[in-house]
């Protein structure tokens, strides 16, 4: 009988929840030879972190919400031959619902292997797809397999991957130059963490995908462009690159087949616009990250004037699976022309937030209610935001929309790279539009007048509306500005910037009208439009609200109902949070 193995999820989400202390405790307390304590990354159950999995001959048992005290109980259970019955997340109803409808292709190794050990990746079948390509397929045959699979770019554009590779392959390297394969790992959407978690959990999967793509297209140099705010992902990429070089999977004459490929990491400074491919390439070359006109397209003239191909993390992570399992195993998932699976960062007002991978064709409702568990607040859900700042808000009445490019685009949103934020009744849709427009306005590189100035003017209007100073003509102005910005911006940042505003105006016009005509925010979010008061019948005069008011706006005698001075009140909400008798109301 093999000794047990204890895996601790040390992705960023696990570490933030306290998993490092759990790992250190187990590493210190497990007697030598009794069990192996190792790390893995997030299996996607971010809502249940820290996660600890015990692997025995009899099976795998995963525990969630583990602290040091419960880690000791796990050790005691191993000694006694009976693990605790509590906190078994995979076997729980939550765990079953969360995992049962997912299909793990991109995330197949996440939470399963130690991402810092190449031996674990190889044991899981890693680098066999590369070996198969080098030994059995010509470069064109690899492209043909990817074409048959129907794989399309997962960065948001969903452009056919094989077509992109074919165009790139047709352009030879200039004399004395190179051909570049680039991975765009610069995800910057608020609420998105797909690429970060995928790299943290399976960095070799990314490397193998890039290697296969480079063999198929003739690339000999590569860059992974990853934002510096992802230190753990970068750390594990550096480890993976070093291990792959030692094992002969990177460098010169790979596997003895005369294939050369060298790879570097470029850390970005977190500029959202650098997710656009021409701005990304400018950043790699040490220039200011600003989009440029096309043509020339990167496949013809990209990095340092050489042919360049750019795909995102999720696209590359699909490649080895397609080569190993075959195109038909991948394209058996299809909906309205979209093929395969899609990874989403499920976040917001949802019970089971985390990283999910679903087959295309699932409905928004299934993702939110079955996998996500529905509302985390007990309030009715109002909408989901798909596609980040470039996407849009889809109302609850359209939750039966299938998740594929055609259907989601038909709502006015986009699939995007995988951001998926759930909102409930306490969300003000005008405020949501203002939030995303604030983001894209500040992230605009400033090159295009309509993007730089137009988004600023739209934001000024939204600020007026949420301050109770809006007028009816503002709605027409927003529509006109949005049309001009979409038409006149050079890159997708500006072209899609108005989407959150347009979709909220389309699906929630009553909220805009209430803000403008009634000076009312039904979600009670926009501070200038709300007022705090004390319900006399409920107030006991305990004085806690007055003690905690930072501007001394609350007064009253002890054991008698207090009052709030509206002129002094800053609407910070501390009085409501402090009151134990629900005597503070917001109107």
Could you report the per-residue pLDDT of 417-470, keeping only the tens digit for each?
899 999 999 999 999 999 999 999 998 999 999 999 999 999 999 999 999 999
- The H or E element spanning position 472 is none
pLDDT reported for residue 501: 95
Put simply, whether the predicted model's pTM sits higher than 0.75 gets the answer yes
What is the rounded (10 degree) CA torsion for 96, 321, 333, 315?
100
Name the CATH code of domain 531-586 (choices 3.30.70.20, 3.30.70.270, 3.90.1150.10, 3.40.50.720): 3.30.70.20
Sign of CA dihedral 181, 185, 186, 190: positive
Query: Strand pairing of 338-339 and 419-424?
Result: unpaired
Max CA separation in the chain (angstroms):
87
Q: What is the DSSP letter of 178?
A: -
Q: Which two tokens stand for residue 274?
A: 């650098």
pLDDT reported for residue 493: 87
The CATH T-level fold of domain 429-518 is: de novo design (two linked rop proteins) (1.20.1440)
Q: Which two tokens stand for residue 520?
A: 């009312």
**Hey, which residues does 357 pair with through a beta bridge?**
343
Q: Where do the CATH 3.40.30.10 domains begin and end in the chain? A: 5-98
**Is 123 buried (19+), middle (13-18) or exposed (0-12) by CB count in 10 A?**
exposed
Q: Which of 424, 437, 428, 431 is nearest to 381 (CA)?
A: 424
Q: Where do the CATH 3.40.50.11540 domains begin and end in the chain? A: 118-328
**Number of neighbouring beta carbons within 10 Å of residue 552:** 10
Q: Which two tokens stand for residue 87?
A: 């906190």
Is the preceding peptide bond at 162 cis, omega within 30 degrees of 0?
no
Residue 541, sorted as left (phi over 0), alpha (psi -120 to 50) or beta, turns out to be: left
- Given a contact cutoff of 8 angstroms between Cβ atoms, the answer to whether 211 and 250 are in contact is yes
pLDDT reported for residue 209: 98
pLDDT reported for residue 1: 52
Q: How many residues does the chain have?
A: 587
Q: DSSP alpha helices (H): ranges in 111-160?
A: 118-123, 128-136, 139-149
Domain 335-424 has CATH 3.10.20.600: yes
First-residue to last-residue Cα distance in the chain: 66
Superfamily of domain 5-98: Glutaredoxin (3.40.30.10)
Q: How far is CA 343 from the centre of its chain?
A: 8
Give the three-state DSSP class for 50: coil
- Given a contact cutoff of 8 angstroms between Cβ atoms, the answer to whether 189 and 419 are in contact is yes
Sign of CA dihedral 287, 290, 292, 297: positive
pLDDT reported for residue 189: 86
- Given a contact cutoff of 8 angstroms between Cβ atoms, the answer to whether 446 and 410 are in contact is no
Give the three-state DSSP class for 85: coil
**Number of neighbouring beta carbons within 10 Å of residue 90:** 19
**Number of neighbouring beta carbons within 10 Å of residue 473:** 10
Which stretches of the chain score pLDDT less than 70? 1
**Is 69 buried (19+), middle (13-18) or exposed (0-12) by CB count in 10 A?**
exposed
Task: Summarize pLDDT for 34-55 with one digit per residue, the tens.
Answer: 899 999 998 999 999 999 999 9
Query: Strand pairing of 392-395 and 381-386?
Result: antiparallel
Q: Where do the CATH 1.20.1440.230 domains begin and end in the chain? A: 429-518
Q: What is the DSSP letter of 288?
A: -
Q: Where do the CATH 3.30.70.20 domains begin and end in the chain? A: 531-586
Give the three-state DSSP class for 417: coil
Q: Which of 310, 309, 294 is nearest to 490 (CA)?
A: 294
Superfamily of domain 118-328: NADH-ubiquinone oxidoreductase 51kDa subunit (3.40.50.11540)
- The H or E element spanning position 210 is helix 203-217
Task: Give residue for tokens 């790299």.
Answer: 199
């Amino acid at each position: 009988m093999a000794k047990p193995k204890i895996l601790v999820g040390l992705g960023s989400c696990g570490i933030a929840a306290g998993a490092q202390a759990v790992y250190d405790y187990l590493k210190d307390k497990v007697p030598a030879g009794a069990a192996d304590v190792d790390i893995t990354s997030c299996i996607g159950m971010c809502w249940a972190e820290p996660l600890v999995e015990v692997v025995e001959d009899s099976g795998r048992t995963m525990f969630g919400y583990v602290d040091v005290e419960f880690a000791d109980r796990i050790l005691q259970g191993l000694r006694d031959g009976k693990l605790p019955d509590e906190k078994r997340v995979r076997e729980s109803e939550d765990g079953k619902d969360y995992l049962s409808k997912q299909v793990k292709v991109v995330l197949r190794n996440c939470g399963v292997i130690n991402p810092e050990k190449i031996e674990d990746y190889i044991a899981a079948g890693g680098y066999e797809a590369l070996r198969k390509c080098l030994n059995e397929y010509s470069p064109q045959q690899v492209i043909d397999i990817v074409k048959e699979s129907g794989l399309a770019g997962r960065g948001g554009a969903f452009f056919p991957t094989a077509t992109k590779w074919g165009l790139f392959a047709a352009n030879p390297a200039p004399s004395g130059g190179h051909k570049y394969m680039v991975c765009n790992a610069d995800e910057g959407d608020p609420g998105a963490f797909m690429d970060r978690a995928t790299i943290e959990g399976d960095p070799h999967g990314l490397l193998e995908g890039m290697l296969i793509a480079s063999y198929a297209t003739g690339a000999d140099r590569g860059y992974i462009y990853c934002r510096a705010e992802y230190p753990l992902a970068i750390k594990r990429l550096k480890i993976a690159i070093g291990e792959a070089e030692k094992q002969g999977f990177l460098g010169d004459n790979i596997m003895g087949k005369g294939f050369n490929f060298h790879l570097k990491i470029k850390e970005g400074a977190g500029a959202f616009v650098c997710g656009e491919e021409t701005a990304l390439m400018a950043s790699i070359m040490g220039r200011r990250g600003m989009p440029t006109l096309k043509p020339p397209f990167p496949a013809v003239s990209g990095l340092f004037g050489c042919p360049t191909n750019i795909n995102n993390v999720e696209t590359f992570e699909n490649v080895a699976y397609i080569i190993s399992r075959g195109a038909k195993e991948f394209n058996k998932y299809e909906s309205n022309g979209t093929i395969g699976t899609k990874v989403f960062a499920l976040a917001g007002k949802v019970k089971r937030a985390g990283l999910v991978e679903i087959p295309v064709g699932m409905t928004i409702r299934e993702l939110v209610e079955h996998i996500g568990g529905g509302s985390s607040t007990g309030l009715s859900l109002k909408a989901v935001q798909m596609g980040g700042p470039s996407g849009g808000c889809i109302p609850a009445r359209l939750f039966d929309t299938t998740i594929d490019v055609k259907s989601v685009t038909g709502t006015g949103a986009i699939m995007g790279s995988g951001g998926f934020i759930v909102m409930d009744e306490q969300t003000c849709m005008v405020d949501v539009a203002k939030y995303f427009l604030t983001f894209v306005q500040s992230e605009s590189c400033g090159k295009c007048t309509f993007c730089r100035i137009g988004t600023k003017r739209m934001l000024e209007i939204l600020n007026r509306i949420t301050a109770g100073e809006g007028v009816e003509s503002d709605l027409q102005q927003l529509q006109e500005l949005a049309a001009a910005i979409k038409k006149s911006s050079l890159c997708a940042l500006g072209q899609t910037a108005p989407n959150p505003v347009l979709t909220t105006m389309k699906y929630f016009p009553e909220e805009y009208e209430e803000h403008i005509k009634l000076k009312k925010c039904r979600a009670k979010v926009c501070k200038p439009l709300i007022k705090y008061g004390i319900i006399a019948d409920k107030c006991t005069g305990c004085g806690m609200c007055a003690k905690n008011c930072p501007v001394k706006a609350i007064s009253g005698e002890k054991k008698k109902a207090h009052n709030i001075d509206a002129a002094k009140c800053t609407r910070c909400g501390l009085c409501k949070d402090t009151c134990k008798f629900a005597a503070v109301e917001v109107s």
